[in-house]
Every structure is written in structure tokens, then in C-alpha cells.
Amino acid sequence: MYIKRIELKNFRNYKELDINLCKGVNIFYGQNAQGKTNIIESIYIASTGKSHRTQKDMELIRWNSENAKIKIEYQKEKDESIEIYLSKGIKKQIKKNGVRLFKIGELIGNLNTVIFSPDHMKIIKDGPVERRRFIDIILSQVKPGYYYNLVQYLRTLEQRNNLLNEAKMNSSILKTIDIWNEQLADFGAKIIKARHEFICNICCIAADTHNRISNEKEKLNVKYHPSVEYCNNSEKEIKESFIKALENCIRIDMKRSLTHKGPHRDDILLFINGTEVKTYSSQGQQRTALLSLKISELKYIKEETGELPVLLLDDVFSELDRERQKYLIEFIKDMQTIITCTNVEYLENFMVDETKIIKVEGGMIVT
């Protein structure tokens, strides 16, 4: 899969941009605050429906403009296009091949991307929210129905929490909690099963990658840490365990008007040679672990969809040492990659067969 053309109108600091990309490596370089990440962001929005930097769509519209447009033309089996229209005060509109899509779930999985920026160290260092987001974005792209289940799960969760809250004033409504437990476990079991299989799958790839980058000195272990315990990963068994866990927690759930068990409390644990990466590993080991995770993400998407996603590398090279840069460049060779960097000295490293170098200055391409 590769992007052929990016067209932007009044998006961030771009009044107008129309640029063709090559199949290989595309490097956007320039000083800080010129609009390099904005390009990556526009592609990411066409891929997932959301920005990786802000929840507020209005921030994406160019100052003093009323609306913005992103159009990405890409080739999969055939030529396709995604258009995103943003207008002040109106919900964003999405089109695929000119036809309106009404749900983000219909968009995700078309233009598949893997994004990697220094900010993604959060996956390693921060709380479980970042790690759940990491899994959810990947699974939403490759597993039909995953995103839908997740949205339904979160909706049901909110309704169950509302009920717990209302039960404080009127305990008789607790009679209906079983209905919510059943529904929550129904959506939740599908999510847990998909996450379980995903982690099993990437665990080996990540371990193998990490082992090679660390010159066979380190063993990385990626472990799923589900909030609900279950014996085997059949959907039926998970659902039953989930319902039991909900029933066992009802007192504390009621006390806090919160649901304490479920995939919204899941985590992934990372270990290097048996010790937890988040707490005990050096900065260098954490970077290698992230690189290994990101490479396993690429390989997983390729395995599941039969196609390599588009790789978006925002300012990552300056953060990696030579060894890790070399390893990443090995990967770039086979797939379309969009790189941003400030330092031109790195450019020579990227010279694969097909490379396009683009200078960005003040929201414009300068040649």
C-alpha cells in the first residue's frame, strides 16, 4: 500500500498543499515549527479519523479559516482516496472514493499506517491508557468488528456506571444490573479474546527483534495483563469469567459508582531479562523495546492484511543511536515511509532506491 498524493486546504499552517509522493522513502525536512508533523498528522487522520496530537478537530483548521480539507490518494489493490472535511461547528465529514462514510469504524482499516515519534515513549513509560490505545489502534485496523465492539463496550460501561450512581438514590434499579453485566461481558469478551491473541502473536516478533538489536544480550517479554482472569481464551469462557468478576465486585463498584473489572482496566507488561521495563530499564533499553514493539506492529499488520502499512516516522532518527537507526533503515527499504527530520545530516542514511526529499518552510514546500 502506498500514498500517491496529499492534498491539503486550510489544514493547520497549510493554506494549500498538493504533493505527489514516491513509493519508497519520502523525507520532509526543515526547521522547527514549519509544518512537518502537520503532514504526518493529516495522513494519520485519513487513516484513523483522529489526530494523534489533539482531540479537538477545530485546532486542525487553519487560523482565520472556516473549513479545512485533507485528501489522500493511495494505491492498494486499486487506486483509492480518502477525504476529510472539517468545518467549524459541524461534525467532520469523511468520504472514501467520493462516497460519504458515516462512521469512523468504516474508515479505519482502509489506509493502514504505523506511526512512530519520540512521543510514543509514553507507551513504555506512562500508564496503561497508552498501551491500551496502542493495541486498540492496531486491532481496529486489522480486525473487522473490533472497533465497533470497543465503541459498544465503552457505551455500555458508561450506562452501567450511570446505573451504579443512580442506585445510590434508588436501590431498586439495581435489579437491572444483570442485563448490563451480560451486555458488557458480551462485548468485553470479544475485546479480551482479540487482545489475547494479538499479544501472543507479537510477543515472539518483538522478542526476536529486540534480541537482534541488543546483539542477543536481552530477552524482551511482552505479556497481556487482563483485568478479568480466565482459564482458556474461548469467548464463552471469558464471558462467563467476566460476569463472575462483575458479580464479585458489585459492592466496591456501587461504593464508587465505577466498574472495576473489564478490558478498560487491561494492561500490557514488558520485561527485559525478567525485570519490568517501565520501572527498571535504562533509557536506551526502553527505546529498543519501543522500536521492537513498533516493528512487530508493522509485521503483524502485514501478516493479517497481506499488505505493508505506510510507515510514519516523525522526528525519530535523532533519538536513536547508529545501531538502532541501521536496524530501522533495513525495514524502511521494503515499504513506503514518510520521515520528518530537522537535521539534514541524517538524509544520506535514508537513500534507498526511491527517495524523495522535500523541504518544508512556513507551511509551504520549497524546492
Ligand X SMILES: Nc1ncnc2c1ncn2[C@@H]1O[C@H](COP(=O)(O)OP(=O)(O)O)[C@@H](O)[C@H]1O
Q: Which residues bind Mg ion (CB under 5 A)?
A: 36-37
Binding at 281: pick from Mg ion, ligand X, none (beta carbon under 5-8 Å per type): none
> Which CB, 39 or 114, lies closer to ligand X?
39
Q: How many CB atoms lie within 10 A of CB 80?
A: 16
> Which CB, 36 or 294, lies closer to ligand X?
36
> Which CB, 38 or 286, lies closer to ligand X?
38
> Which CB, 13 or 257, lies closer to ligand X?
13
d(C-alpha 16, C-alpha 4), whole Å:
17
Q: Which three cell numbers stand for residue 39?
A: 503532514
Question: How far is the CA of 249 from the CAs of 44, 176, 241, 254, in angstroms?
Answer: 39, 16, 12, 9
- In DSSP notation, 141-154 reads HHSTTHHHHHHHHH
Binding at 63: pick from Mg ion, ligand X, none (beta carbon under 5-8 Å per type): ligand X
Binding at 34: pick from ligand X, Mg ion, none (beta carbon under 5-8 Å per type): ligand X
Q: How far is the CB of 41 from ligand X (least distance, A)?
A: 7
> Which CB, 36 or 190, lies closer to Mg ion?
36
Q: Phi then psi for 243, rounded to 5 degrees?
A: -60, -45
Binding at 135: pick from ligand X, Mg ion, none (beta carbon under 5-8 Å per type): none
Q: How far is the CB of 366 from Mg ion (least distance, A)?
A: 17
d(C-alpha 140, C-alpha 352), whole Å:
31
> Which CB, 59 or 79, lies closer to ligand X?
59
Binding at 295: pick from Mg ion, ligand X, none (beta carbon under 5-8 Å per type): none
Q: How far is the CB of 192 from ligand X (least distance, A)?
A: 37
> Which CB, 117 or 241, lies closer to ligand X?
117
Q: How far is the CB of 6 from ligand X (least distance, A)?
A: 13
> Which CB, 278 or 359, lies closer to ligand X?
359
Which residue, judged by CB position, is nearest to Mg ion in the bound state?
37
Q: How far is the CB of 226 from ligand X (least distance, A)?
A: 37
DSSP-assigned letter for residue 285: H
Q: How far is the CB of 115 from Mg ion (least distance, A)?
A: 12
Q: How far is the CB of 68 from ligand X (least distance, A)?
A: 8
Give me the sign of the Cα torsion angle 127, 128, 129, 134.
positive
**Which among 212, 326, 224 is positioned nearest to 269, based on CA atoms?**
224
Binding at 226: pick from ligand X, Mg ion, none (beta carbon under 5-8 Å per type): none
Binding at 35: pick from Mg ion, ligand X, none (beta carbon under 5-8 Å per type): ligand X
Q: Phi then psi for 176, rounded to 5 degrees?
A: -90, 0
Residues 6+ apart with CB under 8 A from 255: none
Alpha helices in the chain (DSSP H): 36-48, 104-107, 122-125, 128-142, 146-166, 177-213, 235-248, 250-256, 277-280, 283-305, 322-332
Q: How far is the CB of 14 from ligand X (least distance, A)?
A: 8
> Which CB, 66 or 361, lies closer to Mg ion?
361
Binding at 13: pick from ligand X, Mg ion, none (beta carbon under 5-8 Å per type): ligand X
Binding at 210: pick from Mg ion, ligand X, none (beta carbon under 5-8 Å per type): none
Question: Residue 288, class by beta-carbon neighbours within 10 Å (0-12 exposed, 13-18 middle, 19+ buried)?
Answer: buried
Q: For 111-131, what is the HEC assignment?
A: CCEEEECHHHHHHHHCCHHHH
d(C-alpha 250, C-alpha 259), whole Å:
8
Residues that bind ligand X (CB under 6 A): 12-13, 30, 32-38, 59, 61-63, 340
Q: How far is the CB of 32 from ligand X (least distance, A)?
A: 4
3-state secondary structure of 320: coil
Q: Which three cell numbers stand for residue 101?
A: 462514510
3-state secondary structure of 65: coil
